[in-house]
Structure 1
């Protein structure tokens, strides 16, 4: 399970004898070069990209201005990361997104090393694994935005890679204490980004139990080496639990609310209440994942698995690695398959499971392409008689390149649709573009009120994402207030931050610029002397803007749920 002199060298399978010298260009050196080129291109694009900060990105940036041990819906990892980047490079969109570009490269290289080690040190599957990561549409898309997903994915695949090394060392009577401690720290960091990282643990534990004799985990001394790792993991994730304990467990309430169960952070209604069984939910999840990952990559996973199974007696080292990859992937996929019976599974939720299946897809690459190259050469030597030859893996590979390349172009070019007639109505366009114009309208009203009264007004939006985007795109990055909890929706961190708390008595008597909703809704939730609409949009109430005078606080206290 290690490259170099420590690799086990099994007898070659018949297919490998003819192809082991082909695809020599698929080396670790070229893998690094590919990763560097992709990083540079995406970094340059981040400077000129028409993608504005989407709502979650802006929220995490605003969190980074209010550093905390944790937050209502997420751990502190994403806020701390953005804080580190913007402290160095400033509050620019590219600086906010820089960590996700780095995370994408970590994912590529970790997948490459994992495939290489499972292939007995052969660097060629590693190259194909890195390519397939780059060609996987949802992973490429996640690498465009600074959300929790890409750093979480990086922690997941990095933990899988180092755990594989640790198992190898135990198998060969070598100490793995430091490696397990590193795995524990990485999983702890991943937990600070997204709690789903815990779902890799059942796979690791089950693999260790079932193959305990092979891995020599039935020896007590090897189990004892994991105790320091467990302590490091608990210490790393402790900020989330300490903060939740101090704040009456809001994260738990948020997760319960997501399931539509009483005791969560949302009021249960007929629309959002827990529904016992949705029979088509799991099927929908499977279909969406296949289309999202891309059918060609799914086909490559199946092809490589079948080939590894075919040669498991001649290459047991690789077969054990294939089993390991599947064990890492299965818990998260099964978990969200089951969740599908209860509620709609969002497309990004199960994606982590494919991070170890993509290296599996790459394992047969050198043989599949090698056999194709030999067949093509023979076909040419025979004056191209008969049909052009193909191999299953080669066909899947070429389709993966086409599918992934088209998807990447669509992801990159999608925001430019706004410049075409009715382009602003392109699906999802309002989430990624156009908000700078909204901020400019708000700024105009701020200036109007300032000129009228001599006092800068406060700004209140009806939704947390709108609140965060205004805070970023207004010229002075002001504190913007969020009213959604007073409209009956769930609480947000804006309700607890000192400078965005609408119950602050220092706000009394101030004028305000309001964004979103209707005048009636604002009047029902807050005490103002008067409210006047200044930007009317009956077709989309979320875009309406109001000026309000003499703020006297909320009419009702926040709900306790």
Structure 2
């Protein structure tokens, strides 16, 4: 007999919602994949996946490991890379429904899922495979598991699952290291949970979970702490005049409004403000969500006063805020939402959801996708054809077994060539500054290919027909072979000058002395 209770009804509705969303997004993903190539960062992470390690230039290893797994399972198919964020996003939505249902019931959980689902940011999260997809899943799962562990603090398996989740999240992005801190702080401030401070399971979870960062730290000790050096650049403020400072500062809330849709974002800010104002009236459930959102959001807001903030940085701290918003709209908080807030945020969110998909479809099916004013989509266009033309040059080199691919372009260009050339070659990159600015400078460079030839790709607009002198002096001679020229709709074409460098005799690795066959000691 079918359970006809209200909770069972909302559970079935969510199951149908999740299934419908999965089918729709699968279809949209296949359409998107047929019309646009990988984003530059996706190709870059894919290249990481071909050389598995305990760390990479800017991130812990999880995204590289996942890319490597996907490449091996799908034969480096683009649809496989696109499928991964869809599966992570679906699992995240199911996890958040489970957490919201545990806290406030199935009706509130269903509304929380809808509010999250109908945000522009959620569309991107399910379409592009970056570090945010696994991070948000592990963060959401940690929120659920910590609550379950607090409900039954003697259950070893709940703590073990939480430990593993924190560890895997830590291997996904450094932001996960904040979660164990939030656990300890909540145990301190919550009278009902203060006994956790005497529970060894809590401390073992914190120590072992954060301990997953150990191999990443070890890897960094072998590479001059390059990830730390890179991360430091995110927290360096620029000196700006008042007008530029004001514009940059206002950019942060403006982007958050676009990511979460205007009224939903306004609702999030409203419920957080009212919750802080009425903090003493809230129960333990709301205190938990409040602690896991407000302090970090305020810290990032303060940081926005001195530097530019990437729109994805605060994403994990909005997760509990969405549950609070749904609880407010369903009357589960001690202050009442007006009728306006109960209807319009979701209506506007649905409108944004529909318009965003229609807009992407319209752009991809017209020449607008090649318009350089649409920078992100413009950068994703034409790479399949670029790789085909580049691969044809590699097929014609005189010494194919002794020829490597070299580019002087951006790291994303190097990654796109590696992914889209039919041969999937190992691509080396020359960094003109002589600094380590990407994973390509961390890996061994062409110094390991002394005596070999190089197929060199260089931006055709920088030095047309001439390779950079710093590159040409490393070879016995340089031969101009032609161009890769790909039309990008109404935008400027992508042009690479192609050269063949004969017999590499030296190479200067960033931060190192020149590598030569004899390399005598000075």
Global fold match (TM > 0.5): yes
Aligned to 2:216: 240
| Structure 1 residue 357 displacement after superposition | 1.0
Aligned to 1:43: 26
Q: How far apart are the structure 1 equivalents of 2:484 and 2:389?
A: 12
Whether 1:288 and 2:255 are equivalent positions in the alignment is: yes
Aligned to 2:335: none
Q: Secondary structure at the match of 1:515?
A: strand
Larger RCO, structures 1/2 (Cα 8 Å, 6+ apart): 1
Q: How far apart are the structure 2 equivalents of 1:71 and 1:180?
A: 29
Q: How far apart are the structure 2 equivalents of 1:297 and 1:458?
A: 51
The structure in which a higher percent of residues are strand is 2
Candidates 189, 193, 206, aligned match of 2:185: 206
| Structure 1 residue 25 displacement after superposition | 8.7
Whether 1:323 and 2:287 are equivalent positions in the alignment is: yes
Q: How far apart are the structure 2 equivalents of 1:256 and 1:277?
A: 23
1:378-431 C-alpha deviation (Å, 9 max, x unpaired): xxxxxxxxxxx95431122222221233224334554334367x6465332222
Q: How far apart are the structure 2 equivalents of 1:230 and 1:454?
A: 52
Q: Secondary structure at the match of 1:468?
A: helix
With over 3 angstroms needed to count, the CA separation of the structure-2 counterparts of 1:411 and 1:148, relative to structure 1, is farther
Q: How far apart are the structure 1 equivalents of 2:37 and 2:471?
A: 31
Whether 1:193 and 2:172 are equivalent positions in the alignment is: yes
- On the 8 A contact 2:436/2:510 being kept in 1, the answer is no
Q: How far apart are the structure 2 equivalents of 1:482 and 1:232?
A: 38
1:465-490 C-alpha deviation (Å, 9 max, x unpaired): 1111111111121111112x244453
1:158-206 C-alpha deviation (Å, 9 max, x unpaired): 111212222333xxxx525433332232122112111112233443333
Q: How far apart are the structure 1 equivalents of 2:231 and 2:37?
A: 28
Unaligned runs of 5+ in 2: 333-337, 486-490, 514-522
- On the 8 A contact 1:177/1:229 being kept in 2, the answer is no
Q: How far apart are the structure 1 equivalents of 2:141 and 2:113?
A: 13
Whether 1:76 and 2:53 are equivalent positions in the alignment is: no
Q: How far apart are the structure 1 equivalents of 2:54 and 2:320?
A: 30
Aligned to 1:87: 72
Q: How far apart are the structure 2 equivalents of 1:117 and 1:308?
A: 20
Aligned to 1:62: 47
With over 3 angstroms needed to count, the CA separation of the structure-2 counterparts of 1:28 and 1:303, relative to structure 1, is farther
Aligned to 2:95: 110
- On the 8 A contact 1:436/1:473 being kept in 2, the answer is yes
Aligned to 1:445: 393
Q: How far apart are the structure 1 equivalents of 2:361 and 2:8?
A: 28
Q: How far apart are the structure 2 equivalents of 1:391 and 1:286?
A: 22
Q: How far apart are the structure 1 equivalents of 2:47 and 2:102?
A: 41
1:484-520 C-alpha deviation (Å, 9 max, x unpaired): x24445343223445xx2111x342414232324366
Aligned to 1:494: 440
| Structure 1 residue 125 displacement after superposition | 1.0
Whether 1:297 and 2:264 are equivalent positions in the alignment is: yes
Whether 1:159 and 2:111 are equivalent positions in the alignment is: no
Whether 1:146 and 2:129 are equivalent positions in the alignment is: yes
Q: How far apart are the structure 2 equivalents of 1:307 and 1:255?
A: 34
Candidates 384, 401, 404, aligned match of 2:353: 404
Deviates more, 1:273-282 or 1:84-93: 273-282
Candidates 417, 437, 441, aligned match of 1:470: 417
1:50-99 C-alpha deviation (Å, 9 max, x unpaired): 23111111111111110101111111101111222332232111212332
- On the 8 A contact 1:107/1:133 being kept in 2, the answer is no
Q: RMSD in angstroms over aligned alpha carbons? A: 3.4
Q: How far apart are the structure 2 equivalents of 1:429 and 1:118?
A: 40
- On the 8 A contact 1:471/1:478 being kept in 2, the answer is yes
1:260-295 C-alpha deviation (Å, 9 max, x unpaired): 5xxxxxxxxxxxx85499853444322321232112
Whether 1:481 and 2:447 are equivalent positions in the alignment is: no
Whether 1:518 and 2:463 are equivalent positions in the alignment is: yes
Whether 1:508 and 2:475 are equivalent positions in the alignment is: no
Deviates more, 1:358-367 or 1:321-330: 358-367
Q: How far apart are the structure 2 equivalents of 1:287 and 1:204?
A: 31
Unaligned runs of 5+ in 1: 1-20, 261-272, 369-388
With over 3 angstroms needed to count, the CA separation of the structure-2 counterparts of 1:98 and 1:534, relative to structure 1, is same
| Structure 1 residue 144 displacement after superposition | 0.4
Whether 1:181 and 2:133 are equivalent positions in the alignment is: no
Aligned to 1:17: none
- On the 8 A contact 1:181/1:226 being kept in 2, the answer is no
